[in-house]
Amino acid sequence: MPLWIDSHNHLQDARLGDPQPVVAAMRDAGIEQCVVNATHEGDWADVEQLANDHPGFITPVFGIHPWRADTATTGWENRLVDLLEKYPQSSVGECGLDGWISSPSFDVQQPVFQTQLRIARELDRPITIHALKAWEPLFEAFEKQPPPRRFLMHSFGGSWEIAQRLLPLGAFFSFSGYFLHSRKSAVLETFRKIPRDRILLETDAPDMLPPAEFITHPLAENRNHPANLASIATALAKSLDITPEVLANMTRENHACWISDFNPNSSASD
């Protein structure tokens, strides 16, 4: 059985219920690790707890999601740095920019995002970026505050042109099952062009539900179970004309390169 890594989910989300059976189902489905992303200060402690309960299985990511940018309270930057220093395996996210929502506005989102870019760069940690209908604002943010040496564009739904602009900056791109919907086939086309050593897999559970035929672990109210990853990955492998085993090995190596085995001597930090 191929072994998979879910490079982006939200196991702390109350919509998934008790994390214990969720983690057990993931292990049964061949998922050997996952990255759990906080979304606002209010769930940092939950993500921390999960990482402590499942060492080696859960990698924590702490940050503020653009939808929650207006909830940041005084001193949040210092508390974020403290958490990142407490957990050397942790990184920054989920953060980014979203032009699909009308509130909070980019004016509120931008400073919160740029602060997280700065912290990631200063601490030399990877960062997980959410960008939706926000490509030019994203590049504007990068001009003011360059990203750290490696970053993940999670649930990447951009074009090949956008990917080409992000690649030289250090981007990795994770594929989520939502893009298996036939109306989203352009995203699969983009993933066929992205260099293989920059591709990762994710569920974004409990969000980004794949089409029905790829759901192996159904949940109520259209929630996405992270154990659906194996079936999502198998579908991506088919689209890339490789075996699931090759995709599993490739994405596990890429994941290690992105988040774990960073060699400070191997890339220019400008």
Nearer to Zn ion, 6 or 204 (CB): 204
**Minimum distance from residue 95 beta carbon to Zn ion (Å):** 10
Nearer to Zn ion, 2 or 166 (CB): 166
* Rounded CA separation 201/188 (Å): 13
Cα torsion at 22, 157, 234, 15 (round to 10°)?
10
Contact status, residue 174 vs residue 204, Cβ threshold 8 Å: no
- Which residue of this chain has its Cβ atom nearest to Zn ion in the complex? 204
Q: How many residues does the chain have?
A: 270
The residues binding Zn ion (CB under 5 A) are: 94, 204
Nearer to Zn ion, 70 or 207 (CB): 207
* Rounded CA separation 6/13 (Å): 15
Contact status, residue 174 vs residue 194, Cβ threshold 8 Å: no
**Minimum distance from residue 96 beta carbon to Zn ion (Å):** 9
* Rounded CA separation 7/55 (Å): 15
Cα torsion at 46, 47, 48, 51 (round to 10°)?
120
Contact status, residue 93 vs residue 128, Cβ threshold 8 Å: yes
**Minimum distance from residue 40 beta carbon to Zn ion (Å):** 12
**Minimum distance from residue 130 beta carbon to Zn ion (Å):** 6
**Minimum distance from residue 125 beta carbon to Zn ion (Å):** 17
**Minimum distance from residue 9 beta carbon to Zn ion (Å):** 7
Q: Which of 120, 67, 74 is nearest to 98 (CA)?
A: 67
Q: Is 160 helix (H, G, I), strand (E, B) or coil?
A: helix
Task: Count CB-CB contacts under 10 A for residue 193.
Answer: 10
**Minimum distance from residue 263 beta carbon to Zn ion (Å):** 27
* Rounded CA separation 20/103 (Å): 34
Contact status, residue 13 vs residue 206, Cβ threshold 8 Å: yes
Nearer to Zn ion, 47 or 244 (CB): 47
Nearer to Zn ion, 132 or 246 (CB): 132
* Rounded CA separation 105/97 (Å): 9
Nearer to Zn ion, 48 or 94 (CB): 94
Nearer to Zn ion, 19 or 244 (CB): 19
